[in-house]
Amino acid sequence: MADGTGREAYERARKAVDTGRFEDAIAASEEAHRLEPEDGPIRELYVGLHLARGVRLSAAARDLRRQAIVERNIPVGEEFQDTDTVKAAFQRALDAFDAVLAVEPDNEKALTMKASTLHRFDRAGRREEALGLLRKISDAHPENRQVRLVIKKVERRCEECSDSGFCPHCAGRGTRTVLRIKGKCERCWGQGICLKCGLL
């Protein structure tokens, strides 16, 4: 750890992590990294926190989409566009992964999570972008069989959900109504996503 001006911000970030103040930790880690971008522990904390933020925001965006589907009462099978709020939520997740990739362009976890988020966000429009990220991992780690399986999954249109990415039994709602009683969809465990292609 360097003795420069980033140390104090780094220590603040660590304390914020220990006390569960995630946004304070992010802000302090960004300050520390801006001041001393070459410092190893500072970069490691910055990367770890932004990865965690991206994972959290990606899950939140998916939940927000599910809520929007329910609130808008979109009929099963009807084509629809995400609301601006949902689009912005997915973009915030992508921004978090981009913050990691700006520092570590070959970070395998960030590449994988960004590809997964792109695939969930807009598989038709951003499929090639997601595949490009996954192929970058595959080229760097040809022994990684898991990423090759994910590439095949992303390349193919999913027959189970008509390539929508939504659970075909609840149409992305996460709930089903049987005899006027609403309950959690048992096929997707309330997630609203196709379990054949949506778990990347």
DSSP 40-106: HHHHHHHHHHHHHHHHHHHHHHHHHHHHHHHHHTPPTT------HHHHHHHHHHHHHHHHHHHH-TT
For residue 191, the model assigns a pLDDT of 86
Q: Is residue 195 part of a domain?
A: yes
Residue 76 sits in the same domain as residue 131: yes
For residue 200, the model assigns a pLDDT of 60
Q: Is the pLDDT of residue 112 over 80?
A: yes
pTM for the full predicted model: 0.85
Q: Is the pLDDT of residue 1 over 50?
A: no
HSE, CB side, 13 Å, CA atoms: give it for residue 56: 9
For residue 3, the model assigns a pLDDT of 53
Place of tokens 């689009």: 87
Domain that holds residue 44: 6-156
Mean pLDDT, residues 136-147 taken together? 92
Q: Is the pLDDT of residue 182 over 90?
A: no
Residue 186 sits in the same domain as residue 152: no
For residue 77, the model assigns a pLDDT of 66
Q: Is residue 1 part of a domain?
A: no
The CATH number of the domain holding residue 68 is 1.25.40.10
Which tens digits make up the pLDDT trace of 47-97? 999 999 999 999 999 999 989 988 887 766 677 789 999 999 999 999 999
Residue 34 sits in the same domain as residue 84: yes
Please give the backbone phi and psi of residue 166, each rounded to the nearest 5 degrees, phi first: -95, 150
For residue 70, the model assigns a pLDDT of 84
Q: How many domains does the chain have?
A: 2
Asked whether 93 and 58 are in contact (CB, 8 A), the reply is yes
